[in-house]
Amino acid sequence: MDIAPLLSVEGLSYAYPGGPPVLRNVSFSVRPGERVAVLGPNGAGKSTLLWCLVGVLRAEGRVVVAGTELTPRTESQVRSMIGLAFSDPDDQLFMPTIGRDLAFGPRAAGDPPEQAELKARFAARQVGLPEALFDRAPHEISSGERRRAALAAVLTLGPDLLALDEPTNSLDAPGCAGLAETLAGLPCAQLVATHDLDFARELCSRALVLVQGQLAADDEMEALLADAERLIAYGLAARSGKRSAR
């Protein structure tokens, strides 16, 4: 019996005002619990794709999440089901303390303070963020801790799908490995836009490849990474094996 997709994208196209198309007729689906990498060279449209999925950018085409089509009327509902984590956690952490950042989403959704606090603590445990950091300001903790805090802030709203934009930016090799382990332990589906092929291999079993805004490949991760000719053609670094120190 086929499992209905959690996310269905059909004919997605987008161009920034006055510019050429950044996405060109992109179609794919993601099943519940599936972890899918979005790969491609710089400028391929990876971040734009994620922003279009939650309505930050208004694209042509169709986006359906758990049976709900993205429209201006359903935008807030879709955003409650897709949690978008930006490439720079400093774009998400804006409150005076980490604890207040984590409680912000639930409070904005109408939860009482006690319930928001419980959700913040649960999300912190999910990503391995010590509660001892709750009283610290974002600039007082490490880049890896900020990454986990930003991820926890997204998880407090209980998304069905995590959309992660370049999650390994500014992380060293141990930080990348630890983040991959954390994400692999989460039950929600994940769409991971990344240039880091080692990280993608550790976390995802399937890969979408964008080249000049078009979907050039939708394949199993290992099959893609084993094909050096395709990697070169797609503008991806042909690396394999264990992650090297950075």
Q: How confident is the model at residue 170 (pLDDT cuts 50, 70, 90)?
A: confident
The pLDDT, as a whole number, for residue 240 is: 43
Condensed to tens digits (0 to 9), the pLDDT of residues 9-29 reads: 999 999 999 999 999 999 999
Per-residue pLDDT band for 172 (boundaries 50, 70, 90) equals confident
- How would you label 19-41 residue by residue, b for 16+ Cβ within 10 Å and e otherwise? eeebbbebebebeeebbbbbbbe
- In the block, which residue shows the tokens 């999925």? 53
In this predicted structure, what is the pLDDT of residue 241? 42
Pair of tokens at residue 103 = 């409680």
Query: Is domain 7-233 in CATH 3.40.50.300, yes or no?
Result: yes
Calpha distance 123→121 (Å, rounded)? 6
Write down the pLDDT at residue 1: 52
pLDDT > 90 in the chain, percent: 84
* Phi-psi map region of 241: left, alpha, beta (phi>0 left; psi -120 to 50 alpha): left
Q: CA separation (Å) from 199 to 39, 77, 86, 105?
A: 11, 30, 17, 28
Kindly state the average pLDDT of the residues 208-225. 96
**Averaged pLDDT for residues 103-120:** 94
Whether 116 has a pLDDT exceeding 50, the answer reads: yes
pLDDT at 3 (0 to 100): 79
The yes-or-no verdict on residue 229 having pLDDT over 60 is yes
**pLDDT mean over 213-227:** 96
Backbone angles phi and psi of 77, in degrees to 5:
-65, -45
**pLDDT of res. 242:** 44
Single pTM value for the model: 0.89
Strand blocks (E) in the chain: 7-15, 21-30, 35-39, 60-65, 68-69, 82-85, 161-165, 189-193, 206-211, 214-220
**Whether residue 238 has pLDDT greater than 50:** no
CB proximity list for 189: less than 8 A, separation 6 or greater: 6, 7, 30, 31, 32, 33, 34, 35, 36, 160, 161, 162
pLDDT score at 171: 84
The DSSP bridge partners found for residue 191 are 36, 163
Spell out the domain ranges in the chain: 7-233
Instruction: List Cα–Cα distances, 136 to 15, 80, 152, in angstroms.
Output: 40, 27, 15
Q: What is the pLDDT of residues 53-100, one digit of tens each?
A: 999 999 999 999 999 999 999 999 999 999 999 989 998 999 999 999
pLDDT digits (tens, 9 = 90+) for 124-159: 999 999 999 999 999 999 988 999 999 999 999 999
Residue 40: per-residue pLDDT: 94
**Could you tell me the two tokens for 109?**
């959704």
Q: What average pLDDT is seen over the chain?
A: 92
